């Protein structure tokens, strides 16, 4: 049984609007799943300002403070403090307190990361999602570099060719670590399986962000997991059959209701068994 954290008492899931445009943050911090989990599990509201770097140094035990500063300022803060939703570390902490398996943890952290990194979000929900409709599952670095170049130009970003190629490699690496791609040298789209508990937790957060009924079923974030709408509907139905939410669909009319009023209660219903 998971233990309740004091953090959970003050968690409000809210939206800050779309994330800012493309950045090169991924060049210094890819998935960093292990580091982000350590930070989430030991962070607190009073570790702002000058205390932040000292706290991160104690938590991460990196070889240099420069590496710690990069992990803090380039990854943790943009994703888990200033992302959308803000203070997402509190949401992740609630889940961590339930001691879930990695199959639940990894997709939740991936979802938070992708929402904070527009270039990663756009690559998966457009380019990669479309590639799932092809028999060719290999994702080539030259093709991703071309996509990065075109997308950067659309965002009025002036990136040198070397930066574009490094960004493509960092995108591949992050997606491999999050389980979306597989392979060491040659990357391919991995067989996708989103744990039902992770699906429900993300659905609950999206619902709290203001997405309901049809907009929840058709939310673009599901494409981060390469899920077509039919697969999303099947997952909602499976969750309904497990008693984790109420889901009904008649034609284009959807009704989705959650039985908990906050993420803390909902996560413990799902994971604290």
In eight-state DSSP terms, residue 17 is -
Distance CA(244)–CA(157), nearest Å, equals: 44
More confident call, 61 vs 177:
177
Phi then psi for residue 188, to 5 deg, are -130, 155
SS3 of 131, please?
A: helix
Q: Confidence class of residue 1 from pLDDT cuts 50, 70 and 90?
A: very low
Distance CA(239)–CA(189), nearest Å, equals: 26
Work out the angle at residue 157's Cα, subtended by the Cα atoms of residues 152 and 160, and round it to the nearest 5 degrees. 85
pLDDT at 3: 54
Task: Name every residue whose Cβ is closer than 8 Å to that of residue 248 and which is 6 or more positions away in sequence.
Answer: 240, 254, 255
Distance CA(30)–CA(169), nearest Å, equals: 10
43-77 per-position pLDDT tens digit: 999 987 778 999 999 999 887 889 999 999 999 99
Q: Does residue 9 have a pLDDT over 70?
A: no
118-158 per-position pLDDT tens digit: 999 999 999 999 999 999 999 999 999 999 999 999 999 99
Q: Does residue 15 have a pLDDT over 60?
A: yes
Share of the chain above pLDDT 90, in %: 84
Helix or strand holding residue 134 (H, E): none
Instruction: Detail the DSSP E strand segments found in 76-154.
Output: 138-139
């Amino acid at each position: 049984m998971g233990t309740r954290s004091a953090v959970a008492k003050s968690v409000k899931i809210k939206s800050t609007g779309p994330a800012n445009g493309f950045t090169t943050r991924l060049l210094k911090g890819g998935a960093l799943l292990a580091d982000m989990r350590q930070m989430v599990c030991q962070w607190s509201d009073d570790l702002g300002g000058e205390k932040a770097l000292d706290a991160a140094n104690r938590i991460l035990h990196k070889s240099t403070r420069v590496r710690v500063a990069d992990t803090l300022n380039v990854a943790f803060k943009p994703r888990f403090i200033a992302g959308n939703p803000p203070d997402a570390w509190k949401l992740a902490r609630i889940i961590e307190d339930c001691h879930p398996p990695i199959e639940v943890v990894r997709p939740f952290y991936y979802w938070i990361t992708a929402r904070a990194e527009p270039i990663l979000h756009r690559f998966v929900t457009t380019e990669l999602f479309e590639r799932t409709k092809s028999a060719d599952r290999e994702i080539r670095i030259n093709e991703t570099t071309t996509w990065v170049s075109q997308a950067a130009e659309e965002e009025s970003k002036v990136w040198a060719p070397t930066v574009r190629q490094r960004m493509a490699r960092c995108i591949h690496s992050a997606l491999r670590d999050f389980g979306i791609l597989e392979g060491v040298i040659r990357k391919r789209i991995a067989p996708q399986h989103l744990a039902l508990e992770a699906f429900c937790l993300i659905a609950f957060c999206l619902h709290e962000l203001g997405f309901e009924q049809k907009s929840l079923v058709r939310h673009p974030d599901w494409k981060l997991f390469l899920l077509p709408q039919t697969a999303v509907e099947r997952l909602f139905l499976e969750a309904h059959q497990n008693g984790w939410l109420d889901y009904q669909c008649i034609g284009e009319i959807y009704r989705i209701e959650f039985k908990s009023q906050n993420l803390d209660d909902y996560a413990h219903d799902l994971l604290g068994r």
